[in-house]
Amino acid sequence: MHRDVSHSLLVDLYELTMAVAYRGQGTAERPATFSLFVRTMPPHRGYLVAAGLDDALTWLEEFGYDDADLAALDRLGVFTDDELRWLGTLRFTGDVRAVPEGTLVFPDEPILEVDAPIAEAQLAETFLLNQVTVQTVLATKAARCRHAAAGRSVVDFALRRTHGIDAGMKLARVAAMVGLDATSNVAGSDRYGLRASGTMAHSYVEAHGDEERAFFDFATRFGERSVLLVDTYDSERGVTRAIDVCLELRERGTQVGAIRLDSGDLVSLARHARRRLDAAGLSDVGIFASGGLDEFEVDRLVRVEHAPIDGFGVGTALGVSADAPGLDSVYKLTAFDGRAVRKTSEGKATWPGAKQVWRSRDWSGDVLGRHEEDSPASGATALLVPVMRDGRRVVDTGLDAARVTFEREWAALPGVFKDLDRPPRYAVEPSVGLRDLTAAVDADQHGGS
Amino acid sequence: MHRDVSHSLLVDLYELTMAVAYRGQGTAERPATFSLFVRTMPPHRGYLVAAGLDDALTWLEEFGYDDADLAALDRLGVFTDDELRWLGTLRFTGDVRAVPEGTLVFPDEPILEVDAPIAEAQLAETFLLNQVTVQTVLATKAARCRHAAAGRSVVDFALRRTHGIDAGMKLARVAAMVGLDATSNVAGSDRYGLRASGTMAHSYVEAHGDEERAFFDFATRFGERSVLLVDTYDSERGVTRAIDVCLELRERGTQVGAIRLDSGDLVSLARHARRRLDAAGLSDVGIFASGGLDEFEVDRLVRVEHAPIDGFGVGTALGVSADAPGLDSVYKLTAFDGRAVRKTSEGKATWPGAKQVWRSRDWSGDVLGRHEEDSPASGATALLVPVMRDGRRVVDTGLDAARVTFEREWAALPGVFKDLDRPPRYAVEPSVGLRDLTAAVDADQHGGS
C-alpha cells in the first residue's frame, strides 16, 4: 500500500542530483522561473480543463525531508552527509502563478509558473507534472462526457478501472468539478462531499437465481435509490420482471428509481423498455445505461438516436481517458538569475521568460505574452493569477471555487471547440514582446555558446 | 492528498448496498466464489503479466470499518444505525486462490478467485479490480518494453506522467518485476529496493547558459553516474562539448557514464555520436536515448536500425500504457451457496463455478477447467494456488518471488506471442467438465427463472 509514501520523496532522482550540483556551484539559491504547460493537444480535443493545482500547492506547502526521508536518500548511495544535511534544510519558499482550476487552456499556455530558488523549483518538477497531468487528463475527459450527455445525468463508475487509488480519488473530484452528477466511489464521495450513487451487480441477481425476487428484495429496502439491473439473463425478460416489481411496490407505496441496461443494443432496448414502462403507468421510473460507454457512444445515443435514456454510468473509458490517456506536459525553465532562457532542441523549442496569457472577451483567441507586458486588447482577461506567495497559498483552491470557474468558462467557450471528434484549433499567438524576447535570447545564446 | 484515505472505503456504493441487502435477506454469510479475469485481450498483446496480488491480499487482511469509516458511511444517508453496526463487524475471513504475480495469463483465465461469505467477497470487488487491473496493464506494458530493448537497458522515467501517485509507485514495482533495470522514482526505489537512475534536465544546461560548463560541473561531482544531456541547443554541438568534457575529466581520473539524446533523429544522431566518441577513445562512454519512446520505437531502433544505443528511458508511453491503457477486467460471481451460477448477458456470458487453469508443458494451450477436476494432461501445471486461507496470506507475495515467477514464465513463453504488433491468439479451451457444468447451469436457470 502507499499510505505511508513520503510525498517529498516523489521526485525523479535527477531533481536531487541537479539540486546538489547547483549547491556545489553556489547557485542553488538563485531565482528561477519554471513554466508548466502542454506542448500539443491530444487527439479529438478542442480544449483542456486545467486541474491539479490544489494538490500541487499542498505538496509545495508540505515539502521537506524529515529524518526518515533523509535515511531513504542516504540509502541511494549518491549523496554525501553534508549534502544530505543541506537537503534536510530545504523548504519551498517561492511564489506560484497559475490559472484557477477549471480554467480552459490550450497548448503552450502555462497552467502554472513557479518563481523560486532554482533548487526548490527543480525539486517540485516531478510531483507537479504528475498531478497536473493526470487531473487535467481526467477533467478533460469528464467534461467531454458531460457534453455528450447534453444535460442527462452522468455518473463516475470508474474507480475499479482507474490507474490506482490516487487516480480514482482525483477523478471523483475533477468529475464533480466539470459537472458530473455523482460518483460510485464511496471514499471520493466522502472526501469531496459528492453525491454517491450505485445500482446493483449481476452477482446480486445471480445469487438469488430468481431475478424477480432479487429486484423485489432490493427495492423494498432501498426504494427510490434502487436501480434494477435487467440484463443478467435476458434484458427483455428482465424488463418484464422489473415492471412487475415496480407495480407491486407501488401498491405498497414504494417508488423504484430506475432500471439499468448494461449490454446489447441499448437504443432498441431503451426504446422498448420506455414504451413498456410508460404503458404500465411507470413513467416516473427512469432508464439508466452503462457497459463500455464513452463520450462518443453517449453522443450517439443522445444526439443521433435520441434514445430514451435518463442517465449514463461511465467506467473504463472515463477512468483511463481511453482515447487519450497521456498528455505532452512539460515543466520548463524559462528564466534564471534575471535572464530569460529557452531550449531550442529540434521540435521541442520553448518560449523564454515568465508569461501571462490574455484571453479576449469573445474567445477569438489568446495571446501568450511576457508576464510584465500590458494587456494586448481592452477587456482581455489575464489568466495567470498569484496563487502562492513565499510558500503559502493565497487563494481558495477548493472544489466549489473550481466548479464556479469551470461553469463560467464552459458557458463562454464557443460550441465549435466542444466538438468530440474534430474540433478546430483554438488560436494562441505570441505577443510582439514575447517574439522580441525570443530573438534576443537566441542572439545571446548563439553569441555566448 | 490521499495519504489518509481509508482503504476500506475504496468501494463502489453498490458493494455496500448489496451487502446490506444480503444481510436483510439472511444470506450475507452464505459462501460465494468470485472470479477475477480479463474478458478480452487488449490490442497488440499476446499475453498479460498478472500483477497486483500483493496489494489485493493486504487490502483483504486489513479490511474493516473503524469509527471514522462508519461515520463516513453514515454521512451517505443510506444506511440504518443497525446496518452500520453490522458493517462495522465485517472482516475478510475467506480464502483466495490466485496465479502468482508474474505469471503470464490470457483472457478468460482467473487471475484470482475469492471464496468467502458473499457480503465480504462482494465488498472486495472494487479494490481488487482496481489494483489487479492497473498493475497488470503496467506490468504487461513494461514487459513489452523489455522485449523491444532485446537485452539493452530500460529505465522507468514515468513518474511524472503516470495517472497519479499510486500508479507511479506500482509501476516502479512491476517494471522491476519484469526486468527493467532501474527507475527514476526515488520513493519507488526506496520502497521496493530498486536501483534509482537519472540524468540531467535541459533546465540544468540552460541555467548555466554555457553547455560545457554545465557538463563539466555535473560530471566532476557525479562521475560515472553522469549522463550528459546533449540536445538542449543542438545535438551535434552538444556531443562535441560532451567529448571535450569527457576527455578533460579522464585526464583527472574521472569517467563519465554516458551521453543522452532526447530529440531529433535518434538513429543518425546515435551513429554519429558513437563514431565520434569512439574516435576520441571514449568507447566506454555509453549512449542513452529518451524522448517519447515506446516499445514500437525502441524495437525499430534496436532491431531495424541497429542504432548504437545502450539504454532507453521510457516515460509517458510506459506510464499510461498509451496504446492500451484499459483492460476489460471483471469480478464475477461463479458460485453461491453450493450452486454454480453464471450470467448470460448478450456478449458478456461467463463460465460458471470455481476454476482451475491447466497449462501444458510445451505451452501449446491452456485448459480452463473446474476447480475440482483432475489435470487434463500429464505434466500440465495448475496455475491457481492457495494464497490466502481464513483471511491470512499463506504465500510469499514479495517482489523477489514475483521476479522469479516472471523470469521462469518469460523464458518458457514461445517467442511468437511476444510479437509487439500482431501476436497470434494463445489457445484457452474449456474442459469437458466445464462445458457440462455450463449446460447444467443453463438448464437450471431456464427452468428456475
Strand partners, A104: A49
Number of domains within chain B:
2
Give the N- to C-terminal CA distance of chain B in Å, as an integer: 48
Extract the C-alpha cell encoding B18.
448489496
Cell 474449456 sits on residue: B430
B232 contacts A165? CB cut-off 8 A: no
Q: Give the helix ranges, DSSP H, for A294-431.
A: 295-299, 316-319, 399-412
Give the number of other CB atoms < 10 A from CB of residue B119: 23
Residues of A in contact with B136 (CB under 8 A): none
Give the CATH number of the domain where residue A245 resides.
3.20.20.70
Extended strands (E) in B173-219: 182-183
In a domain, A176, yes or no: no
Q: What percent of chain B has pLDDT over 70?
A: 98
DSSP characters for B222-240? HGGG-EEE--SS-HHHHHH
pLDDT of residue A331: 97
B4 contacts A165? CB cut-off 8 A: no
A449 contacts B18? CB cut-off 8 A: no
- Confidence band of A348 (pLDDT split at 50, 70, 90): confident
**3 state DSSP class of B335:** strand
B165 contacts A14? CB cut-off 8 A: no
pLDDT of residue A448: 45
In a domain, A188, yes or no: no
- Determine which of B86, B137, B186 to mutate to test the interface with A (most A C-beta atoms within 10 Å): B186
* Shared-domain flag, residues A285 and A334: no
Q: Which residues contact A189 (CB under 8 A, 6 or more apart)?
A: A172, A182, A183, A195, A196, B13, B76
pLDDT of residue B1: 38
Q: Which of residues 343 through 372 in chain A touch B, CB cutoff 8 A?
A: 343-348
Extract the C-alpha cell encoding B109.
483465465
**3 state DSSP class of A312:** strand
In which domain, by residue range, is A230 found? 200-289
Strand partners, A429: A367
Give the amino acid at A251.
E
* Shared-domain flag, residues A264 and A364: no
| Distance from C-alpha of B220 to C-alpha of A403, rounded to nearest angstrom | 50
Calculate how close chain B gets to A418, using CA atoms only, in Å: 23
Mean pLDDT value of segment A315-332: 97
In a domain, B185, yes or no: yes
Q: Which residues of B229-251 are buried (b: 16+ CB within 10 A; e: fewer)?
A: bbbbbbbeebbbbbbebbebbbe
Kindly report, residue by residue over A157-216, the tens digit of the pLDDT. 999 999 999 999 999 999 999 999 999 999 999 999 999 999 999 999 999 989 999 999
- Classify residue A393 as left (phi > 0), alpha (psi -120 to 50) or beta: beta
Cell 516531478 sits on residue: A126
pLDDT of residue B89: 98
Does the beta carbon of B271 lie under 8 angstroms from any beta carbon of chain A?
Answer: no
- Determine which of B7, B12, B333 to mutate to test the interface with A (most A C-beta atoms within 10 Å): B12
> Who among A24, A328, A343 is closest to B202 (CB)?
A343
Does residue A276 register a pLDDT over 50?
yes
**3 state DSSP class of A41:** coil
pLDDT of residue A234: 92
Kindly report, residue by residue over A207-237, the tens digit of the pLDDT. 998 999 999 999 999 999 999 999 999 999 9
The pTM score is 0.97
What's the mean pLDDT when you consider all of chain B?
96
The HSE-up count of residue B64 (CA atoms within 13 Å, CB side) is: 10
Give the number of other CB atoms < 10 A from CB of residue B328: 16
Does residue B447 register a pLDDT over 80?
no
**3 state DSSP class of B129:** helix
pLDDT of residue B377: 82
Domain termination residue (choose one: B287, B319, B351) = B319
pLDDT of residue B449: 44
Does the beta carbon of A425 lie under 8 angstroms from any beta carbon of chain B?
Answer: no
Residue A374: exposure state from Cβ atoms within 10 A (0-12, 13-18, ≥19) = exposed
pLDDT of residue A423: 98
| Distance from C-alpha of A155 to C-alpha of A134, rounded to nearest angstrom | 19
* Shared-domain flag, residues B288 and B370: no
* Shared-domain flag, residues A342 and A221: no
Least confident stretch, A346-350, A400-404, B11-15: A346-350
Residues of A in contact with B204 (CB under 8 A): 18, 21, 122
| Distance from C-alpha of A212 to C-alpha of A208, rounded to nearest angstrom | 9
Q: Beta B428-430 vs B366-370: how paired, if at all?
A: parallel
Residues of B in contact with A68 (CB under 8 A): none
Extended strands (E) in B337-377: 339-340, 355-359, 366-370
pLDDT of residue A242: 97
Q: Which helix (H) or strand (E) holds A393?
A: strand A392-393
A129 contacts B186? CB cut-off 8 A: no
In a domain, B210, yes or no: yes
| Distance from C-alpha of A202 to C-alpha of B130, rounded to nearest angstrom | 18
In a domain, A129, yes or no: yes
pLDDT of residue B446: 59
**3 state DSSP class of A121:** helix
The closest of A124, A137, A114 to A38, measured between CA atoms, is A137
Mean pLDDT value of segment B332-353: 91
Residue bearing the bigger pLDDT, B447 or B51: B51
| Distance from C-alpha of B388 to C-alpha of B117, rounded to nearest angstrom | 14
Give the amino acid at B322.
A
Does residue B186 register a pLDDT over 70?
yes
Torsion angle in degrees (nearest 10) through CA of A154, A155, A160, A165? 110
| Distance from C-alpha of B215 to C-alpha of B200, rounded to nearest angstrom | 9
Give the CATH number of the domain where residue A133 resides.
3.20.140.10
The closest of A226, A229, A281, A230 to A255, measured between CA atoms, is A226
Q: What percent of chain A has pLDDT over 90?
A: 94
**3 state DSSP class of A140:** helix
Distances (CA, A) of A171 to A404, B187, B201: 18, 23, 30
In a domain, A102, yes or no: yes
pLDDT of residue A229: 96
Angle, CA A118 vertex, CA A114 and CA A119 arms, to 5°: 115
Calculate how close chain B gets to A267, using CA atoms only, in Å: 14
pLDDT of residue B291: 93
Extract the C-alpha cell encoding B35.
472470479
Extract the C-alpha cell encoding B445.
436457470
Calculate how close chain A gets to B9, using CA atoms only, in Å: 5
Q: Which helix (H) or strand (E) holds B415?
A: none
* Shared-domain flag, residues A250 and A329: no
pLDDT of residue A261: 97
- Classify residue A188 as left (phi > 0), alpha (psi -120 to 50) or beta: alpha
> Who among A197, A206, A336 is closest to B341 (CB)?
A206
Does residue A278 register a pLDDT over 50?
yes
Mean pLDDT value of segment B330-354: 92
- Confidence band of A446 (pLDDT split at 50, 70, 90): low
The closest of B367, B365, B371, B377 to B352, measured between CA atoms, is B371
**Helix B211-222 with B235-251: angle, nearest 10 deg:** 40
- Determine which of B3, B138, B163, B263 to mutate to test the interface with A (most A C-beta atoms within 10 Å): B163
| Distance from C-alpha of A122 to C-alpha of A394, rounded to nearest angstrom | 22
pLDDT of residue A436: 96
Q: Which of residues 272 through 331 in chain A touch B, CB cutoff 8 A?
A: 291, 316-317, 319-322, 325-329, 331
Domain termination residue (choose one: B259, B292, B319) = B319
* Shared-domain flag, residues B91 and B239: no
The closest of B376, B373, B401, B375 to B387, measured between CA atoms, is B401
* Shared-domain flag, residues B286 and B156: yes
| Distance from C-alpha of A94 to C-alpha of A342, rounded to nearest angstrom | 21
Q: Which residues contact B408 (CB under 8 A, 6 or more apart)?
A: none
Cβ proximity of B12 and A186 under 8 Å: yes
Q: Which residues contact B415 (CB under 8 A, 6 or more apart)?
A: none
Kindly report, residue by residue over B346-385, the tens digit of the pLDDT. 788 899 999 999 999 999 999 999 999 988 888 899 999 9
Mean pLDDT value of segment A352-380: 93
pLDDT of residue B343: 86
In a domain, B144, yes or no: no
Domain termination residue (choose one: A241, A269, A289) = A289
Mean pLDDT value of segment A301-321: 97
Give the N- to C-terminal CA distance of chain A in Å, as an integer: 48
Q: Beta A355-359 vs A329-336: how paired, if at all?
A: unpaired
* Shared-domain flag, residues A278 and A222: yes
Q: Which of residues 9 through 38 in chain A touch B, CB cutoff 8 A?
A: 9-18, 20-22, 24-25, 27, 32, 34
pLDDT of residue B80: 98
Does residue A1 register a pLDDT over 60?
no
Does residue B79 register a pLDDT over 70?
yes
Does the beta carbon of A163 lie under 8 angstroms from any beta carbon of chain B?
Answer: yes
Which 3-state string (H, E, C) describes B19-65?
A: HHHHHHHCCCCCEEEEEEEECCCCCCCCCEECCCHHHHHHHHHHCCC
* Shared-domain flag, residues B257 and B157: yes
The distance from CA A41 to its chain's CA centroid, rounded to whole angstroms, is 15
* Shared-domain flag, residues B286 and B235: yes
Does residue A2 register a pLDDT over 50?
no
Q: Which residues contact B392 (CB under 8 A, 6 or more apart)?
A: B61
B3 contacts A187? CB cut-off 8 A: no
Residues of A in contact with B206 (CB under 8 A): 333, 336, 341-343
- Confidence band of A349 (pLDDT split at 50, 70, 90): confident
| Distance from C-alpha of B197 to C-alpha of B184, rounded to nearest angstrom | 5
> Who among B17, B161, B336 is closest to A206 (CB)?
B336
- Confidence band of B444 (pLDDT split at 50, 70, 90): confident
Does the beta carbon of B149 lie under 8 angstroms from any beta carbon of chain A?
Answer: no
Cell 457480503 sits on residue: B119
Kindly report, residue by residue over B136-174, the tens digit of the pLDDT. 999 999 999 999 999 999 999 999 999 999 999 999 999
Q: Which helix (H) or strand (E) holds B153?
A: strand B153-156
Distances (CA, A) of A47 to A139, A346, A409, B50: 11, 26, 11, 36
- Interface A-B, measured as beta-carbon pairs within 8 A, has a size of 382
* Shared-domain flag, residues A99 and A36: yes
Residues of A in contact with B14 (CB under 8 A): 184, 198-201
* Shared-domain flag, residues B260 and B367: no
Kindly report, residue by residue over A50-77, the tens digit of the pLDDT. 999 999 999 999 999 999 999 999 999 9
In a domain, B324, yes or no: no
